[in-house]
Amino acid sequence: MPEQATEPRVQIDVLLDESDRRAALDDTTFWSLRATPKELPAVWLYDEAGSLLFEQITRLPEYYPTAAEREILTNHAAEIATRSEARTLVELGAGTSEKTRLLLDALQAAGSLERFVPLDASEEVLHASAYAIASEYPTIGVHAIVGDFERHLGALPPGDDRLIAFLGSTIGNLDPARRQVLLRAVAAALGPRDSFLLGVDLVKDPAMIAAAYNDTQGVTERFVRNALTVVNRELHGNFRQERFAFEARWDSVNEWMDIGFRALEAHTVTLGKLEIDVAFELGERLRLEISAKFRPDGIERELGSAGLATELFVTDSERRFALLLARRSD
C-alpha cells in the first residue's frame, strides 16, 4: 500500500490581518502627505505588479546589492552557522526567503537547525514561502508570523540559539531614528545565546549607487510609478503620472538614495478614501523611499548604541555590501 503523504509542519500566526494593515497604512499615508517632504509609504510599492517589477530589478546588471549579498552568503554562510550554532533561524521581512536558503543549507549542514521563523507583513507571500520551505527542508519546523518587524519582535517564539537575520539592507529604508528604535528592540529580543545577522549596503562611488536606481531599461522608474497607480486604485486618488518626473538622487549629506518624484507643475491631488486634497508646488518632491548606505564604523556604532556587539564583519570581493554578525553586549 503506498505511503500517505504527510503535510509539512507549518504554523502560521497572523498578528496583522488585512483590515488592521490597511487601517494602519491609510493612517500613515494621511500623515506622511503632511510631512516635509511629502511622502507615500513604501508599502504602496509592493502590490503584485510591483513585487514582480522588483524581482526584475534584482536581476538588472546595474543593481549590485542582491548579487553582492549572495556572494557573501555563499562564501561565509558556513562560518555564520558555526559561530551562531543556531537551532532557530528567524528572518525579518522574509518575503520569498530566496537568499535565506543559503543560510538554511549551512545551518542544516552544521547539524543544528530545527526551526525556521519567517516574519513578513504579506500573508499571501508568507503562506506560499512557508510551505515551500517546509517542503524543501522536511526535517525542520516552520513557524511563520504575519506581522510588522517594527512592532512585533516580542511575538517571536522563545528558545535558545536563535539567529535573527535582517537581510537585503532593508534597514537602509529606515531613517536613523527608526533604525535605532528597531536595533534596540532586536537587542532586547536577543537571549544570551542568540545572535543577529544584518545585511547593509556600503557607501561607495556615488555613480555606482545612483546607477542601481536609475537603470537604463527604466524598470526602477516603472516600479516606483506603479505605486501611484496603486494609490489611485486603493485610495480613490487622481495622481497623474505626467505631472510627476521620476527622480532617484544621491543625498551626499545623509548618504542615502532619495527615491520618488518631482512635481512638473503646481496642482492638487485628491484622495477620496482619505477625504483629503494634497497641493503640490512646481518642483516639489514626493518621496517614496530612502535607501541609506553605511560606512563600516558607522553601522558598528549604531549597533553598539543599541546594545549590540559586532563579532563578524564580512564583505563581497568588491566591498560593496556587508554582513555583520552581532550579539547582545550586556
pLDDT tens digits for range 163-212: 999 999 999 999 999 999 999 999 999 999 999 999 999 999 999 999 99
Distance from C-alpha of 52 to C-alpha of 91, rounded to nearest angstrom: 21
Read off the C-alpha cell for 33.
Answer: 502627505
**DSSP state letters, 126-171:** HHHHHHHHHHH-TTSEEEEEES-TTT-GGGSPP-SSEEEEE-TTGG
Please tell me the predicted confidence (pLDDT) of residue 6: 43
Distance from C-alpha of 58 to C-alpha of 19, rounded to nearest angstrom: 30
What value does the mean pLDDT of the chain take?
92
| pLDDT > 90: percent of the chain | 79
Distance from C-alpha of 66 to C-alpha of 314, rounded to nearest angstrom: 15
| pLDDT > 70: percent of the chain | 97
Cα–Cα distances (Å) from 174 to 151, 157, 256, in that order, read: 14, 25, 10
pLDDT tens digits for range 40-73: 999 899 888 888 898 899 999 999 999 999 999 9
CATH architecture of 8-242+293-330: 3-Layer(aba) Sandwich (3.40)
Cβ 153 vs Cβ 186: under 8 Å: yes
Domains in the chain: boundaries: 8-242+293-330
pLDDT tens digits for range 1-47: 333 334 458 898 888 777 777 888 899 999 999 999 999 999 899 88
